[in-house]
Amino acid sequence: MTRPKGCAMSFTHRPGAGQAALPVARKDPPAGTPVKSARPAVARALRAMPLTRRYDACWLAPDGAIADSSRLAPATPLFEEAFSALARGSVILTETGPVAVEDLLPGQRVMTAEGRVEAVRWIGSMVIYPGSEQGPDLEEQVSLTRITAEAFGAGRPALDVVLGPRARLCLRDPRLRRISGAEAVYVPARAFLDGISVIEVTPSAPVTVYHVALEHHGSLRVAGLEVEAFHPGEGIERLIDPRLLSLFEAQFPQIARLSDFGKLAHPRLTRFEVESLWD
């Protein structure tokens, strides 16, 4: 199977029919008059334009065949979270041994950190380009998270792992029960940044990032780390505009509706909720 590659993110503006660019006479301001920068106006104009990104996916069809698609959709956190947890080269433990995420195929069975063997139902990917930006002010650089070998203990991870901007790790600690009711939770990988063993990385070349959805939600075993498989979040369909929801659901042809993802394997916490435990 050949996966489509590439990412399109462009801004276009064309004159209407019959319109032409006309010269405009300008007068120089009097000497000493402050000149206002045009950058705020340009930033406002860019914010008003819809950003899109190309998202690639492959999934297991009902007849057992592998199907794929490439779609343009909004470049928003809702969509990007489904495609950006693991950088190319991340090694996932399957029942037949370690497999790089770019070589993983729907239908293969992976070993989860919960002790189960789960079939891969869907794999999504997108490309991050150097200098690309996100966020309402278009000032936040897209970055990856490099976790160096044994940053969290022996074999955790066994080698350096690069995670995408939306990755979550499974954190296990009895103290978590106070705020989550469980001893295992999912936390954004960026919550562990320390500049020493967990480092923020800005790509200098295009990087393909991936996410993986399983038959039943759980944690992928990635070189000794426990990385959350994709799940949109329970009840998220009630929080999305119906038109956007339809566009989002179309990214997952292997299911009929978002509720088919089932239950989360563990609760999710924010970085701030976890930090409050150590205060």
Residue 164 has pLDDT above 50, yes or no: yes
Q: Is the previous residue joined to 157 through a cis bond, with omega within 30 degrees of 0?
A: yes
Query: Which range (21-25, 61-65, 159-163) has the least confidence?
Result: 21-25
Q: Determine the pLDDT at residue 126.
A: 96
Q: What is the pLDDT of residues 181-201, one digit of tens each?
A: 888 999 999 999 999 999 999
**Residue bearing the bigger pLDDT, 115 or 48:** 115
Q: Determine the pLDDT at residue 180.
A: 84
Q: What is the pLDDT of residues 240-274, one digit of tens each?
A: 889 999 999 999 999 999 999 999 999 999 888 87
Q: Which residue spans within the chain are E strands per DSSP?
A: 52-60, 66-74, 86-87, 91-94, 97-100, 109-111, 117-128, 133-134, 140-141, 144-147, 161-163, 168-172, 184-188, 198-201, 207-214, 219-222, 225-228
Q: What is the pLDDT of residues 169-182, one digit of tens each?
A: 999 988 888 888 88
Average pLDDT over residues 13-17: 36
Average pLDDT over residues 210-239: 95
Q: What is the pTM of this model?
A: 0.78
**185 contacts 137 by C-beta, under 8 angstroms:** no
**Residue bearing the bigger pLDDT, 15 or 141:** 141
Distance CA 192, CA 199 (A): 9
Q: Determine the pLDDT at residue 9.
A: 31
Q: What is the pLDDT of residues 97-138, one digit of tens each?
A: 999 999 999 999 999 999 999 999 999 999 998 865 544 444
pLDDT band at 1 (very low <50, low <70, confident <90, very high): very low
Distance CA 94, CA 73 (A): 31
Q: What is the pLDDT of residues 237-249, one digit of tens each?
A: 888 889 999 999 9
Residue 222 burial (CB < 10 Å; 0-12/13-18/19+)?
buried
Please state, in angstroms and as integers, the Cα–Cα distance from residue 19 to each residue in 16, 34, 49, 121, following that order.
Answer: 5, 33, 21, 50
Residue 102 burial (CB < 10 Å; 0-12/13-18/19+)?
middle
Quickly count: other Cβ atoms within 10 Å of residue 34's Cβ: 5
Average pLDDT over residues 76-88: 95
Q: What percent of the chain has pLDDT over 70?
A: 77
Q: Determine the pLDDT at residue 7.
A: 36
Average pLDDT over residues 45-53: 62
Q: What percent of the chain has pLDDT over 90?
A: 62
Distance CA 259, CA 164 (A): 25
**Residue bearing the bigger pLDDT, 45 or 9:** 45
Residue 3 has pLDDT above 90, yes or no: no
